[in-house]
């Protein structure tokens, strides 16, 4: 049973119902009809000996009934053998015919009818029945509370394991492929955790192999690329200028592609590792890179905990992208504080801009906006690297519409430290 979750839930339900049945049995025993009837028989014998005989005046019978009703805390009514009322004490009771039908009921509010040895009928209802019914409600409430108290720990223990499993799956889905789930017990949840761990290990191994293959292949490409570059340099005197320039440009793009693939692979491989942060003067980097490409800028003096080389690559890629696709428009960079706990870097141009439907897809590796020419340069990894670097530093990047036109890339990075 411990190996099946549904049996444990079913068993907890049965135990709770069994506990409720036991408590209801105690309540039933407390108000058992036979128990009440035996008590009523004793009352009938007592009544026949203490009440005046049938021939006594009605006033005398009324006085005796009133006195004994108060002493017994019971509402009473006395009838002749033919059903005619003789006397009554306490609250009004149902007529004899109705009371006789109600004798099948039991409980503190039940009306009982007794036929005395002399033929008269005595109808009664205990005056403390209202208080007893309130006690019955309290007992039922206690039963419900006990059932709830017995079921909650079992159900909560099961659901807590499911919550831990959900949390681990969400962490794994967030990119931390080394996450594993603790296997607790031997039921369905434990088997699900085991299956998840096995699948996660296989996926992590496959992704690791893919990253390793990509990084190694990119690294090995540098050797033939160096030989090609050397051959081009040796044949510069013999080749036509146009061919020489085209070969030089292609080699430069291939070299850039290899460099960016290696960087992307390294970022993927170290995404789960803690960064070795240093205090980087981001304003100085923005100023240097803007001067290099001839872009205007305004930058607040601030430092950022991060990797200086990666942050320089982020700024350079954004500026080169704006210069490449801005149709010759001016490029402007802005670095500023935002709410004293984050910084914003905007790189904007006044070119044709990016259609709204494409503003998220341009961050995908090797994706180009429809109509963009490869002759403009670039290898399709620049913006993808920008997003990787921003997220590596706990931030992100978005593509926005420029004002009044063009395109604006906004990078948000958290927790800057002001320059002292």
Gyration radius (Cα) of the chain, Å: 45
Report pLDDT digits (tens) over 306-339. Answer: 888 889 889 998 998 888 888 788 899 999 988 7
* DSSP secondary structure of 136-171: HHHHHHHHHHHHHHHHHHHHHHHHHHHHHHHHHHHH
Cα separation, 360 vs 14, in Å, equals: 55
On whether the CB atoms of residues 379 and 359 are closer than 8 A, the answer is no
Dihedral (CA of 282, 288, 290, 293) sign: negative
Strands of the sheet with 278-281, listed across from one edge: 278-281, 302-306, 417-418
* DSSP secondary structure of 74-108: EEEEEE-TTS-EEEEESS----HHHHHHGGG--ST
On whether the CB atoms of residues 346 and 333 are closer than 8 A, the answer is yes
Angle between helix axes 129-173 and 5-30 (nearest 10 degrees) is: 170
The structure tokens listed for 44 are 């009938």
On whether the CB atoms of residues 113 and 71 are closer than 8 A, the answer is no
The structure tokens listed for 297 are 């800028």
Which own/partner pairs from 386-392 qualify as long-range (CB within 8 Å, at least 24 positions apart)?
386/314, 386/317, 386/318, 386/411, 387/363, 388/264, 388/267, 388/268, 389/267, 389/310, 389/311, 389/313, 389/314, 390/314, 392/267, 392/271, 392/275, 392/307, 392/310
Q: What pLDDT is attached to residue 288? A: 92
Q: What pLDDT is attached to residue 217? A: 63
The structure tokens listed for 406 are 């063009």
Report pLDDT digits (tens) over 157-170. Answer: 777 888 888 888 88
The structure tokens listed for 244 are 């020489």
Q: What pLDDT is attached to residue 202? A: 87
| CA proximity to 89, closest of 66, 55, 63 | 66
The structure tokens listed for 372 are 């963009």
Strands of the sheet with 121-126, listed across from one edge: 85-89, 74-79, 121-126, 112-115
Q: What pLDDT is attached to residue 315? A: 93
Q: What pLDDT is attached to residue 410? A: 93
Cα separation, 124 vs 136, in Å, equals: 20
* DSSP secondary structure of 238-257: TS-HHHHHHHHHHHHHHHHH
Ranges in the chain, pLDDT < 70: 1-8, 10, 24-44, 100-110, 127-137, 151, 210-223, 236-237, 239, 253, 256-257, 260-277, 371-379, 415-420
Q: Which residues contact 52 (CB under 8 A, 6 or more apart)?
A: 60, 61, 64
């Amino acid at each position: 049973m411990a190996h099946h979750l549904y049996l444990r839930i079913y068993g907890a339900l049965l135990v709770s119902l069994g506990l409720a049945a036991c408590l209801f049995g105690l309540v039933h025993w407390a108000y058992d009809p036979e128990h009440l009837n035996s008590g009523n028989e004793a009352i009938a014998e007592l009544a026949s000996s203490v009440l005046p005989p049938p021939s006594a005046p009605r006033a005398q019978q009324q006085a005796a009934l009133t006195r004994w009703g108060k002493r017994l805390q019971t509402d009473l009514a006395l009838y002749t053998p033919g059903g005619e009322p003789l006397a009554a004490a306490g609250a009004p009771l149902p007529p004899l015919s109705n009371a006789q039908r109600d004798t099948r009921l039991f409980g503190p509010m039940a009306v009982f009818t007794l036929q005395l040895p002399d033929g008269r009928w005595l109808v009664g209802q205990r005056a403390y029945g209202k208080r007893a019914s309130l006690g019955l409600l309290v007992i039922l409430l206690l039963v419900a509370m006990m059932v709830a108290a017995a079921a909650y720990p079992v159900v909560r223990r099961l659901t807590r394991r499911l919550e831990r499993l959900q949390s681990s799956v969400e962490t794994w889905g967030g990119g931390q492929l080394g996450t594993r789930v603790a296997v607790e017990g031997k039921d369905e949840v434990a088997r699900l955790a085991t299956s998840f761990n096995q699948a996660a290990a296989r996926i992590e191994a496959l992704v690791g192999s893919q990253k390793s293959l990509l990084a190694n292949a990119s690294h090995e490409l540098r050797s033939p690329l160096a030989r090609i570059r050397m051959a081009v340099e040796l044949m510069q005197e013999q080749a036509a200028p146009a061919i020489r320039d085209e070969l030089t440009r292609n080699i430069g793009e291939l070299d850039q592609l290899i460099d960016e693939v290696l960087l992307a692979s390294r970022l993927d491989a170290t995404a789960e590792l803690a960064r070795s942060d240093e205090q980087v003067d981001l304003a100085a980097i923005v100023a240097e890179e803007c001067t290099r490409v001839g872009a205007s800028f305004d930058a607040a003096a601030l430092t950022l905990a991060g990797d200086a080389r990666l942050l320089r690559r982020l700024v350079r890629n954004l500026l080169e992208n704006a210069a490449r696709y801005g149709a010759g428009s001016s490029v402007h960079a802005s670095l500023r504080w935002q709410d004293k706990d984050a910084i914003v870097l905007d790189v904007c141009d006044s070119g044709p801009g990016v259609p709204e439907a494409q503003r998220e897809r341009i961050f995908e590796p090797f994706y180009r906006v429809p109509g963009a020419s490869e002759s403009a340069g670039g290898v399709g990894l620049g913006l993808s690297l920008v997003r990787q670097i921003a997220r590596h530093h706990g931030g992100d990047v978005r593509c926005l519409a420029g004002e009044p036109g063009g395109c604006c890339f906004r990078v948000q990075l958290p927790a800057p430290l002001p320059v002292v």
